[in-house]
Structure 1
Amino acid sequence: MNLIDHLEDRLGRIMHGWSRHPNGRPMPFKVAECGGGRLPGINTYVTVGLSETHLPSRVSDKGVHQELMIAVPAELADGPYPVILQEIGLDLIREETALLRGDVVGPFGPMAEGSGLESFYASIPVHHDDRFAEVEPGADGREFPIVLTWLIPISRSESDFVSRHGWDDFESEMEKQDPDLFDLHRADLVLKP
């Protein structure tokens, strides 16, 4: 299955796309907004074409071909998410490094008016079935798998916790406390100092 079919199968039809930065320059990849998929009321912004760049891992000899995604409530979807994905993707290309599970990027400012969430935590897209996280080489002639990386909005205190305690502890806390990770106005997790 090609990347677009894989994305639209879970995330819904592509409704909008961006191929230029707000300053007008063409981008080396696109950003698409999908809606009406398997998660009712959720719109997802996703890079398309970032995976054409081989990004080295900082922790192994492996290279990663990845696309990044941000999922938000449809009623709050008119936000800075395409530009944020463009900036993160350009940084990865410039720094020649993949975004790995447990990495934190930002802060970018509040994700929505009145939101305390301002950074992103890189994770696997657990809100879909296991087969969604990786797009296998397919009929489109691509010889490499594509990893989908979900960028979860987090607060400053959550970002600080990841820095001090690591991603294993943070994901354990998320599992225990079970916050609504699509809620841009959710309360911070209750975390040990």
Structure 2
Amino acid sequence: MIEHIETYLGEITTSFLLKNDKISIQALEFQNTPFPDVTTYLTLGVSKFDLHRNPEYKFKQEYLFAAHKSFDRSEIASMLLTFSESIIEKGIALLRGEVIGEKPLISNVRANSLYVSMPVFWEDDFYTFNGSTPPTIFVWLMPIMSEEYHFVKSNGWNAFEDKLEMVECDFWDLNRKPIFNGLAEG
């Protein structure tokens, strides 16, 4: 899996570890991907655990998060590892369009929720690692603001993604303004 990851994200620059009696997972750090001055973080080890949405289907996932390099890398890695640990404990796979929030992602930022998406800013072949059974899916945890969280809850993920396609958005800025104002604009 490391070879697959480094083929699409580049060389691992740092690794953060969360280890306890039940799990051992890492948050890997990659510089200047998908754009210059953006740092990407990716879990490694979540895919050792089978996640479910119903008893018939097993999922393997790893989680991707990215932000401008100016944001505290230790806090981001800690958030990603803690979040991943809670997913493993619940055993429930994340699906595209889900929103998780509203609580601070890291200190002193406006982003307080996560939107589950495909990693559209990375190459298509990166999305899936076929060397596991079932294949491991790489899931982008897009940082969003409270207003966007409520919009998705009220209007659904298709409406939110339609809005995203119509606006300029600095997805990597954890203090950006919401893409629109109001809690549930249509």
Q: TM-score range by the shorter chain?
A: 0.7 to 0.9
Q: 1:84 to 1:61 in 2, by over 3 A?
A: same
Conservation of the 8 A alpha-carbon contact between 2:27 and 2:42: yes
Aligned to 1:161: 151
C-alpha contact 1:69 1:150 (8 A) present in aligned 2: yes
Runs of 4+ in 1 over 4 A off after TM superposition: none
Report the alpha carbon displacement of residue 5 of structure 1 after superposing the two structures with TM: 1.6
Please tell me the residue identity of whatever aligns with 1:132: F
CA RMSD of aligned residues (A): 2.1
Q: Name the aligned partner's letter for residue 174 of structure 1.
A: L
TM-aligned CA distance change 1:144 to 1:80, over 3 Å: same
Question: 1:4 corresponds to which residue?
Answer: 2
Question: What is the total number of aligned residue pairs between the two structures?
Answer: 182
Relative to the length of structure 2, the TM-score reads 0.87
Secondary structure of the structure 1 residue equivalent to 2:104: coil
Quote the Cα distance in structure 2 between the aligned partners of 1:51 and 1:168: 27
- The match for 1:151 is 141
Contact 2:13 2:29 survives alignment (8 Å) = yes
Identify which of 15, 25, 30 aligns with 2:26. Answer: 30
Is 1:104 the equivalent of 2:99? yes
- 1:111-149 Cα offsets, whole Å, 9 max, x none, are 463x32111111000001211111122xxxx33311000
Look up the match of 1:44.
40
| Structure 1: distance between partners of 2:148 and 2:33 | 29
In structure 1, the residue corresponding to 2:63 is in which secondary structure? strand
Alignment of 1:2-151 (within 5 A): 3-20=1-18, 25=20, 27-57=23-53, 61-109=56-104, 111=106, 113=108, 115-137=109-131, 142-151=132-141
**Gap runs ≥5 in structure 2:** none
SS in 2 for 1:101: coil
